[in-house]
Structures are given as structure tokens and as C-alpha cells.
Chain A
């Protein structure tokens, strides 16, 4: 478009160099006609953004607000002037064309508050609007109210203790956000069980029937690493350190008997001998193994359920799970063996297998809703994007981080931005179009001098800067971990 006005190019008296630039974008709404623009080399992001807004006629006359844009050249966000970039990367060659991609700018996250938890936060969920669900190693689930305007109060709406002291490792809302009564939520624990809780109503004050544990899902032989629920809220899939992915169908009505006999699973102190006797009565002649302080958790636990399907395949731990956002019948998992597997939940078959290097142990997984690309956070300090639609492609993109990524979340709508938490205590927001550097990095590390003595929790656990859990609903970003706090940020991200 040669008739595009070039506000300063014609007016400038000194003769600044003009750079040939191709501007393009991958989002349909912001596309401008493709052409080569000669742009003064002194221009920065702001001028370029102005230019595009002008072309898009995003101004008050047309009733649209100007949109800030970011500019990416070769996967790097343009930070200085074009001239500097050319000097740095092209050695001052001002004649060859520069392909500049522009994206809608994401606003830097804004800290909205911190909620203190007494122990390490292991799981966070923002799926239900207005509430923060968190699980912690203190072996409880907490539901916190979330308000975007005011800093979240630290008082929890509900606190659901798990019948174990070993800690909860993950949590999820089971009931879809639409349901308001008898809301189910699930937590996986180090005690190898998935605990499903029932909350009659979330509305404050309405606590006549107290929340209780409804089901206890057995089947894993090692601590649970991840629990997810289907969008209908009827199925639960859990992954564990034993490498299995278990599939549970929740009954629609509350059952009247256990599917499983109590197993002698609890060796925990303080769970007395009365249960042992009870177990012996129930199990009927099963030889108690000497030394096992067996006891079942019926007193505190819910109805014991056996898995409806066990999907075996991972060698080593299952790191993370995600329900396919496009296909209801598929679950993706990543494991410590470096593989990403897709499972058909109906028949428990392994549908897709992508095997990466074995030391690329996956810790978490998420999926972009827009294009179905999978993103995993790995132990080898990378975030990998997996293109699962093509049979041949393996890892399509690798984003380097500074430490292992135990949790990441893709933007709910955008197909480019994702947020990640790392063991070094940094929350990062990435644009996959700019894979070299994160768009934003927020350090969660204690701002107060790090030379300080380590804080120790009541039960003797050292608090550090490590982050373990993160969630992002496109508006709010929460992250928590070793420091026993949940940080809340306002981050829109595309």
C-alpha cells in the first residue's frame, strides 16, 4: 500500500536511513495488506504500533481503541529502535528486507496480592470463576475467593483436609463451572489415592451440610502426580508415579457400598488399632502382614472406587495430564521417560506416542485450545511444544528456561501465549512466536535478602523460592510453591 501515510518519514529534515520492512501477523483481525514499507531506522515499537493502528483505522473516529502491538523479528521482541537491531544483527546492512511480525501486545502482569498458605502449594486451579482452588502439602484443599479488583483475602472459604498427613500433590475442579450445587472437586495425594470431595454449595454461609469426601479412588501404587476431570465432570483421570494413568467414571448417584475392600495401606502413626480389627473383620481371613499397621480410611475417606480403566505405557512417573480440549475422548500425558502419549479413554488404548529423549522428563502438560498443540514443561529446563497432528513431527519448538518447569498453562484463547512456573521461582509468560526470550518474567523469589535464614514451617519444612503450581485463566495468574504463598497477578496475555 503505497498510499500509506508516512508521518515522519517525509517530514524529517535530516536524512535518516530508511529500512525496507515487511509487516505481517498471524492473527486475522489485525492483518494489514502486505507490502514493503520503508520505515525510518529510528523508529521504535511505539511508532510502528501507531503505524499499524493507523492502517487498521483503530482510532476514535472509527470508534475503536488503538491497540498496542509488539514487534518480533526472527522470534525476538523488538526492544530498541530498528536501527539498533539492524546494527546488532545485520551488521548495519540497511538494504535487505526485514520481516517483522507484529502481535497484540500483552500487558505486563500486575501483582494483585498474595495469599499465605502454611505449607508448600502443590496445585492450583482457576477453572471456576471467582474461586481459587489450591492443594498443599499440608494435606488439605482450600477454596479461596478471587476478586480481580481487590487483593484476595487470605481467609479460605472452605478448607478440606485429606485423610492423610503426607500431602496433596494436585487438585482439580470436577464439576463443570456451570453447576452450582453439589460441586465435586478432586485432589491427588502422596498417599496414592485420589480424594473426591463434595461441596453442597459454594455460596458463602450456606454450609449446612458440611463438605465431605465422597469417593476415594484407589488403584495407584505410588503417589499421585496429577488429577484432571473431563469437561462434563463425570470422569476423572489420574496419573501417578507408578507410570499408570487411571480412568475413573464417577457414579451419578451416591453408591451404597465400596467397590474395593479396604487395603492395609496406612502405615501412618496415629491411626490406631481399632481399624485393624475392623479391617480383619471385613477382609475375612486375609493374613495380615506382620508389621503393617493396616487400617482403612473409611472413617475419614469416601466410597472406595476401583479404576474403570488403567492405561499403562509410561516408564517412570507420569508427570502431567491434560484432557484434550478439542476431542472429549482423548487424554494426553507426559512422563519422566520423555514421552508424550495420547490415550483413548473409552478403550484405554494408547493412540499417540511421541518419544523424546529419555532425559527430557516431562513434569507438566497443557494444550492450546486453538490449534491443539501440546506444551510440556520438562526437567531439562525447557518448555517443549509438541505438534501431535503430524505423525512425523516430534518436538516442534523448544523454549529454554533456567530451571525445570513443574507447571505451565496455555492461554485459554490465544494460541501463542503460555505461562510457566519454574523451580527457580520465576513466573514467565511466553509468546511462542518469540521463542528466545520470555515476554515477561516475574520473580517470585523472596525480595527480602536471600542470605536470610531459611524459614521453616510448623512441621519442619523449609520454605524456598521454588514454584510448583500455576494457573492462568487469561485474566488472573496464580502461582505458588515452596514459599507457602500464592501469588496473584493480573495478566491478560493477548
Chain B
């Protein structure tokens, strides 16, 4: 009957708190009081008294109980009184009616009992008055047909019980069906003010039955561990558990205190309780603790440091005879080990073969020692072992009888003596004695030994890990310039311009025959590359020549020169082969619709922004000289970049706003302005050597456009302040940029939008940078009058960075008005360089 046990135990829990005497039916208040009195009287042996003193009339019930709950322990005494006499009948009934459906009925009755008991007991425990209970019963119609139970007959009781358990409990009465018995015991049902006709349970203030040393003292202050002076100017000193203020106890003045101390014999053993701001008299126990603390003993009086050992498992008669586990004994306990056998046999074999000699006498230690020798002592090979630094061996000058030349002269002696002790090179003066026995005692011995000890003591004994790097190895391994020949070394030919004029631009014809130069006197000159003879000249008479550039197309001889407001297309017709001349003329002239149409607008198309651009036919006299077309453009064009096929060329003009970059087509005499809006002041432009791409360098950025797709492909950030020149590697993936702030930036366009290398070696602004069209060379020219030649190998392997080796500095151009070399060009197919300078010279530098 598990459920019954459960109820019984639960009721027991409740009853334990209520103490034994509540056996008495709580029908009358007085009776209960009496019982309580009894219980108070029999404080000492509660249970026993309860067991003995209350009623022996319930013996039979006890027996029953014993029968029913065979496994009960000795608390039965406490247990059995729970059963009221009232219930006897029920129990009896139950016993009588055992023939009926036992389980159900029992359970129900049990639970009913439980309820009743609980109610009663809780009532007795917490001081319910009977009226409360009555009220409760009244409210439950099923359970309170009448207020008094005693008068009921057995049948009535039974029927009442059946009725009670066959009726659904009234849910309006709180939620007592759900409330456990334990809780029910502590609560008190009161009519709810909120719910009409409802009840609520009210609880008594709970009193914790803690020990005396805990915080259950009166008026415990809850302010916590704070400096109490925070409350100094307040009337209270803190708050109790309920949040009420604890007021400051009355404090007498110092005199009162003194008097109190004098009068009170226990004053010496009272202490000031800061928290409560009053003096508390210490108990004997506390004093004992204090004394023990003073003696540095364990404050617990009960603590016995010498208590006898309790032998739980050992000792006489306590041996464990039973094994801890039931596992059978392992095999290894009784089977000889094969592994050990093998090992032993190995040793046996070794002994047989003589590899191991048993009982071999150990190596005889030498009987005679070199007692001062360290050789037989093992070095301490500790990682951090560090011998003390040794004193240097004595020198000749320290000898007692040094050679004459070591002896100081009078002057040296004087100097030595006048010097500060720290400044002296040696801390002694060499002295000469004829014999060792004449040497006096050394008076500084103790001092020196002390200093030595001090040195050793103060010396930082750490192993310095010194990075021993050869600085040479940090320099990148570059091939020697000798291995990278040929490259230009010396000036071979000078192309001298008459008068003092700056040669702003130069260009070498693609067949390496002629050098064209444009100078500030407005003349474009053509020179024999080999001997420096001026073979042709065009006097354009329109101000300084800004730029000249040969068409890279070898089957034509076309030269573009830039002057203010004009792009001049020229050809040295008299000097080239007739076929070349004819091809050139055909190419340039086909777009003139007829000989009468000498002026032509940009290809007849509506190209926005190109209205001011005219393709003008020069006069016949000029045409005889080889001036083929004038293209009138806004602003002053500064640079020409030819497309590799020789039909398109791009010009960059200063002060031409959005028409500064123009792309001209010779065969159609068409001009387009590729940019509607420019990203800035464009400095240089270039065509990609293989793809339909177009580079435009502004002051700081280089933009790469796709001409076919009309899109911006990339923006390269140069990191320089003002780009002066730009050249694209013939492979198309690399780019060099020279700047007015003395830097040269190399871009590897596969690598990043930032320069792969930024070189700064010129002392003045760079004017021109050029790649050699075929050889792995590039050169840069600067206002410092020098030209630097570099080797540059660009590997086809994308993983390998370009190799840049400085080769040669070419000097020769004079700096004129702060301007040095202005333009550079390589000679196609040869390691030769042509440079033009502000000193009015064009030079050819040969290998």
C-alpha cells in the first residue's frame, strides 16, 4: 500500500512540527490548549511523554498500524498517535469492509483521512481556532453536513466519506486540490477581497529556527559591510530585515561611558558593536574564542588536535576479507610472462655470446688524483650555465721586474697621479724590483678583491642572444652590371643645336635612322643618328616645340610635333625610300576629300566637344617640305602617344579643360574626345602595346580605360605627388611613372594598384622615363642632369617579381636654369639612348 505509506509519511512530517500532543481531537479549543501545556511541560522527552502520557487506548490501532506498516522504524511512537480516535471507526469500517473493492476504497479513505488530519494538525500547529475550521467545513457542502463529527454514526461517516470522494471538489475554494498537504498546513484560508466568494490563503510570518550565532539576533542591521560613519549624521544606523529604520541607540557622553566603565565590572569584557553602535557584552564563549585566537590556537573549543586515529579498515579484526570486486583473478597472476621470458632469454643469449659479462668489475678508479686538475670533473652542460668572466692574464707591465720600456717616465707618473681614478688606463704604475722578495705587500688587494666580487655580483648574468647577421646578406643579390651588358655607357654623338635653346623633346625613328628633336626656337630638326648631322629641318614658326614623336609604324615615316594650338604631322619625304614616302602620303592625304577641301571638320561626325578641332592642309610650300597636316586643337598640346599601328595618336593638352585628351585618326582625319569629363589634369597618356586599352595619368593616379568597352578598368595609385612622365612596358603588364617629386614608381599591374617599387635616387624632379622596346632596359632622366639606366627583367612567370638592377648613371648634360635632361628615347634594336637637355644638346649614349 504505497500510497498509504506516502500519506502517512507526509502527515508525519506535518505532525512532527506539531509535536506529539496534538493527538487530542481539536474539537474544543480548551482541550487543545491543555495539550499544549502538557507539551510545554514535557519539553525534555517530548516523544516519550507523548507516547506514554496520552492514550494507551489506541493500542489496537497501533498494532494495526504495525501490521500495516511493517517496515516502520522507531518513529512509530511518534507516528501512531496521529491516528485519532475518531478515525478508529473509519479504520474499522475499512477493515470491516475489506471484502469490497479494497484498493480504491482504501485509497480514497486514506486520502480523506490525510486531508482531515492535515487540516486538524495544521490548525493545531499554527494556532487555528476552531471557528476557522468550521468556516472551512461550512464552506464545503459535502464535507460539512454538520459541525460535530462525533455524533455521526459509522454509516453516516461512511456515506459521508463516499459522498465526499464521489463529488468533485469545489474549485471555488482556492486551489486546495492542487495544493500539497504540506502547504495546506501552513496557510489560512480567508475570503478573498478581490474574487467574489473566493478564498485566499494567508501565511503566518515565518520564523526561521536558526542557531544563535547566525544573524537572527535582534535588530540585525542590514546595511552591510560599509563604513558606519556614513550614517553619522543620520538619526538611524541602518535597516532591519523588514526595511524599518534602526534608530541609533542612546549614547551617553564620554563621561557617562567612563563612569559606566568604572561601575560595570564587566566593562572590560564588553566590545563596541559598530554595526549596532552599542557596546555588547561578550559572553564567556566569545571570550574563550578570543583567548584562543590570542594563543594562536584553533578557536573551536571542541577541536582536539590529538584525537585518536580511527582505524576504519585496518587493525585488529577489521581486515577486509572480501574482495572489492567479483572479477576473477587475472591470468597474469599465475601464468609466466612471455615478454619477460623473451627479455630474459635475450640477456641470456647476450651473456652466452659474451656481449654481456656478468659481474664485470667496474673500471678501476685511479688511485692517484691530480687534485688540482678539473679534467675528471664533468662540465655542467647546462643550457644556462655561464662561467664568470675571467680576469685577463697579467701583462708584462704588471711584472715585479718589468723591462725598462714599461716603466713610466716622471712625466707619465705625474700625469697618472693627476688623473682621476676612473680615467686612468691602468690602476697601477709599473714598478721595478730587483727581486721578488723585495716587493712590498700589495695594499690594494682587499679593495681589488672586493671590486672583483662586486663586479661578479652586479654583472648581469644573462645570455645575450645577439643576432649575428652579416649586413652584406641583407642586400638583395643583384647581378653585377657587368653581366647585364650591353647598356649605354658613354656619350658617343652629340646633336648640337645652334644658339641657346632648350630641346624639349626628342624622338628616334623606328628604323633607328633619324633623331628628331624639337627645341624652343620652334624648329624641328632631323639628325643623322650615326654622325649627328642635321639632315632636315622644319621651322614651324609657332613657338616652342612641345613634343615630337615618330610613328611606330615602320612602313611609314611620320612625325608628329606639337606646338601651341597645333598638332603638326610631318614626314621627311626627301630622305626616305620612295615607297615609304608614297605610303605615308597616301595614308595622310586620303582623307582630304579633294585638293580644294583644305579644311575639314572632325570626320563629319557630330563628335561632341570637337567643334574647335580642325584638320588643316598646309600650304604647298610647306607640303613640299614635308609638313602634311595641321590639326588645330584647343590649348597647348603637351604630349603625343601613338597607337602601335600608326593610325591613331592621342594628344594631351594643358589648359584645354575637357578637350585636353584627344584621339586623332590619321586615315579619316577624325578627332574624338574620349572623356566627357576628365578625372583631373591629365599629364600623360599612352596606348596599351597589345590591347585596346588606354592609360591616362593625372597628377597622382593612372587610369586604365578600355577603349572598346568605354569603361574604366583600373585606377593605379602612384603615391607620388605629381606625375611627370609615364611609359608602358612593351609586355603591357608593367608601367613606370616618373614624378616631379623625384620618385620613380614601377607598377606591376598583375600585382596591385600600388607601386611594386618606388625608387628615389634622383636629386631633382624626373622629366622622362622610358622602357626599351626590346631589350630589358629602362632609363630615367632628371633635372639633376643625370640619366639613370636600369636593367629590368620582366618574367613571364607570374609568380616572379620583375628584377630591377641599377646599371649606370650617365652624366654630361649641363643643368641650365635648373633644368637638366628633358627627354629620353631608346634607339630601336640597340642598347643606345638618345637624350635631350635644356643645354641645347641632344646626345646619343652608346654601349
Hey, which chain A residues are within 8 Å of B581, CB to CB? Answer: 267, 289, 292
Whether the pair B492, A166 counts as a contact (CB closer than 8 A) is: no
Choose one: B492, B513, B595; the contact of A222 (CB below 8 Å).
B513
Contact A289 B586 (CB under 8 A): yes
Does A264 sit at the interface, judged by CB under 8 A? yes
Q: Mark B509-535, 1 if CB is under 8 A from A, else 0.
A: 000110000000000000010111111
CB closest residue in chain B, given A192 = B577
Q: Indicate if the CB atoms of A290 and B531 lie closer than 8 Å.
A: no
Given A191-B574, A363-B530, also A291-B585 (CB < 8 A): yes
B343 CB within 8 Å of chain A: no
Report yes or no: A462 in contact with B575, Cβ–Cβ below 8 A: no
Instruction: For chain B, residues 564 to 611, give those with C-beta under 8 angstroms from any C-beta of chain A.
Output: 573-582, 585-586, 588-589, 595
In the complex, the answer to whether B846 meets A167 with C-beta atoms within 8 Å is no
Q: How far is the CA of A192 from the CA of B831 in the complex (A)?
A: 27
Q: Is A370 an interface residue (CB 8 A)?
A: no
Residues from chain A with Cβ under 8 Å of B493 in the complex? 404, 423, 466
Given the known interface contacts A167-B535, A264-B578, A462-B496, the answer about A359 and B830 at a Cβ–Cβ threshold of 8 Å is yes
> B residues within 8 A CB of A241?
513
Partner-contacting stretch, out of A104-112, A250-258, A453-461: A453-461
Tell whether, in the assembled complex, residue A263 and residue B578 are in contact, meaning their CB atoms are under 8 Å apart. Answer: yes
Q: How far is the CA of A195 from the CA of B727 in the complex (A)?
A: 44
Question: CA separation between A359 and B485, bound complex, in Å?
Answer: 10
Residues of chain B within 8 A of A190, CB atoms compared: 528, 535, 575
Q: How large is the interface on B (under 10, 10 to 19, 20 to 34, 35 or more residues)?
A: 35 or more
Q: Is B621 an interface residue (CB 8 A)?
A: yes
Given contacts A241-B513, A290-B585, A464-B496, contact A357 B574 (CB under 8 A): no
B623 pairs with A357, CB closer than 8 A: no
The interface residues of chain A lying within 8 Å CB-to-CB of B582 are 289, 292
Q: Could you say which of B291-299, B404-412, B624-632 contacts chain A?
A: B624-632
Verify if A381 is at the interface (C-beta below 8 Å from B): yes
* A462 shortest CB reach to chain B, Å: 4
Contacts across chains A and B counted by CB atoms under 8 Å: 121
Known pairs A290-B585, A316-B829, A462-B497; A166 contacts B847 (CB<8 A): no
CA distance A269 to B577 in the complex (A): 18
Rounded to whole Å, the gap between the CB of A270 and the closest CB of chain B is 9
Q: In the complex, A264 Cα to B847 Cα: how many Å?
A: 39
Interface: A242 (CB within 8 A): yes
- Report the Cα distance A141→B496, complex, angstroms: 25
Contact flags A148-190 to B (C-beta < 8 A → 1, else 0): 0000000000000000001100000000000000000000001
CB nearest to B588 among chain A residues: A291
Tell whether, in the assembled complex, residue B496 and residue A137 are in contact, meaning their CB atoms are under 8 Å apart.
no
A191 to B496 alpha-carbon distance, docked (Å) = 22
Instruction: Report yes or no: A404 in contact with B578, Cβ–Cβ below 8 A.
Output: no
Cβ of A330 under 8 Å from chain B: no
**Contact indicator B831/A466 (Cβ below 8 Å):** no
- How far, in angstroms, from A289 to B513 measured CA to CA in the complex? 24
**What's the Cα separation between A454 and B625 when bound, in Å?**
27
A138 CB → nearest B CB, Å: 12
Contact A267 B829 (CB under 8 A): no
Q: Is the CB of B577 within 8 A of A242?
A: yes
- Most chain A Cβ neighbours within 10 Å, of B490, B492, B494, B574: B574
When distances are taken between beta carbons in the complex, the residues of chain B under 8 Å from A35 are none
The answer to whether A120 and B533 touch across the interface, beta carbons within 8 angstroms, is: yes
Residue of B nearest to A290 (CB): B589
CA distance A380 to B490 in the complex (A): 9
- Residues of A within 8 Å of B689, CB to CB, are none
Q: Could you tell me the distance between the alpha carbons of A265 and B831 in the complex, rounded to whole angstroms?
A: 33
B contact residues around A379 at 8 Å (CB) = 492, 530, 846
Bound CA span A363–B529, Å? 12
Residue of A nearest to B497 (CB): A462
Do the beta carbons of A221 and B574 come within 8 Å of each other?
no
Within the complex, which residue of B496, B533, B585, B846 is in contact with A292, where a contact is CB–CB below 8 Å? Answer: B585
Q: Please give, as numbers and ranges, the residues of chain A lying within 8 Å of B51 by CB-CB distance.
A: none
Which residues of B sit under 8 angstroms from A223, Cβ to Cβ? 528, 535, 575
Q: How far is the CA of A268 from the CA of B579 in the complex (A)?
A: 17
Interface residues as binary, A374-408 with B (CB distance below 8 Å gives 1, 0 otherwise): 00000111000000000000000000000110100
CA distance A460 to B532 in the complex (A): 14
Interface string of B293-336 (1 = CB under 8 A from A): 00000000000000000000000000000000000000000000
Q: Contact: A456 with B498, CB < 8 Å?
A: yes
The minimal Cβ–Cβ distance linking A325 to chain B, given in whole angstroms, is: 26
Distance A263 CA – B581 CA, assembled complex (angstroms): 12
- Chain B residues, Cβ within 8 Å of A460: 498, 534, 537
| Interface assignment of A317: CB less than 8 Å from any CB of chain B | yes
State which of B492, B575, B829 has its C-beta within 8 Å of the C-beta of A404: B492
**Interface residue B25 (Cβ < 8 Å from any Cβ of A):** no
B832 at the binding interface (Cβ < 8 Å): yes
Q: Known contacts A267-B626, A269-B624: does B585 contact A289 (CB below 8 Å)? A: yes
A468 is an interface residue with CB less than 8 A from chain B = yes
Of B577, B588, B595, chain A has the most CB atoms within 10 Å of the CB of B577
Chain B residues with Cβ below 8 Å from A291 are 573, 585, 588-589, 623, 628
Does A333 sit within 8 A of B, measured CB to CB?
no
Q: Is B812 an interface residue (CB 8 A)?
A: no
**B623 contact set on A, CB distance < 8 A:** 291, 293
Tell me whether A221 and B578 are in contact (CB under 8 A): yes
| Least CB separation from A455: chain B residue | B498
In the complex, chain A residues whose CB is within 8 Å of the CB of B576: 221-222
- Interface residue? B486 (CB, 8 A): yes
Set A191, A359, A406, A482: member contacting B832, Cβ < 8 A: A359
Q: Which of A225-269 contact B (CB under 8 A)?
A: 241-242, 263-269
For B486, the closest partner residue in chain A by CB is: A359
Which A residues are in CB contact (< 8 Å) with B513?
222, 241, 317
| Chain B positions within 8 Å of A293 at CB level | 623-624
A268 touches B578 (CB 8 A): no
Taking the closest CB of chain B, its distance from the CB of A315, in whole angstroms, is 8
**Which of B496, B530, B625 is A317 in contact with, Cβ under 8 Å?**
B530
Chain A positions within 8 Å of B498 at CB level: 454, 456, 460-462
Q: A166 and B575 in contact (CB under 8 A), knowing A403-B492, A462-B498, A464-B494?
A: yes
Flag whether A297 is at the interface (Cβ < 8 A).
no
User: Residue A361 at the B interface, CB < 8 A?
Assistant: yes
Shortest distance from the beta carbon of B609 to any chain A beta carbon, whole Å: 30
Q: Which residues of B contact A317 (CB under 8 A)?
A: 513, 530
Cβ of A12 to closest chain B Cβ, rounded Å: 47
Closest residue of chain B to A337 (Cβ to Cβ) is B829
Question: How far is B330's CA from A19's CA once the two chains are assembled, in angstroms?
Answer: 107
In the complex, residue of chain B having the shortest beta-carbon distance to the beta carbon of A379: B846
Contacts A221-B579, A291-B628, A359-B831 given; does A267 touch B573 at CB 8 Å: yes
Q: How far is the CB of B206 from chain A (nearest CB, A)?
A: 111
Is the CB–CB distance between A268 and B574 below 8 Å?
yes
Query: How far apart sit A223 and B530, CA to CA, in the bound complex (Å)?
Result: 12
| Closest Cβ–Cβ distance, residue B495 to chain A (whole Å) | 9
| Residue A59 interfacial (CB < 8 Å) | no
Determine whether A298 belongs to the interface, using a CB cutoff of 8 Å to chain B. Answer: no
Most buried by A among B486, B498, B621: B498
The verdict on A358 contacting chain B, using a C-beta distance below 8 Å, is: yes
A191 contact set on B, CB distance < 8 A: 574
Contact A265 B829 (CB under 8 A): no
Residues of A within 8 A of B494 (CB): 464, 466
Nearest 4 pairs of A and B residues by beta carbon: A221-B577, A462-B496, A267-B574, A267-B573
25 contacts between A and B (CB under 8 A): A120-B533, A166-B574, A167-B535, A190-B528, A190-B575, A221-B580, A242-B577, A267-B624, A269-B621, A290-B589, A290-B595, A291-B589, A291-B623, A293-B623, A316-B829, A317-B530, A336-B530, A336-B830, A380-B846, A403-B490, A403-B492, A423-B531, A462-B497, A462-B534, A482-B532
Additional pairs, 18, CB under 8 Å, beyond known A223-B528, A263-B578, A461-B533: A120-B533, A190-B575, A221-B580, A265-B574, A267-B573, A268-B574, A269-B621, A269-B625, A290-B595, A291-B585, A291-B588, A291-B628, A292-B581, A336-B530, A406-B530, A423-B532, A454-B496, A454-B498
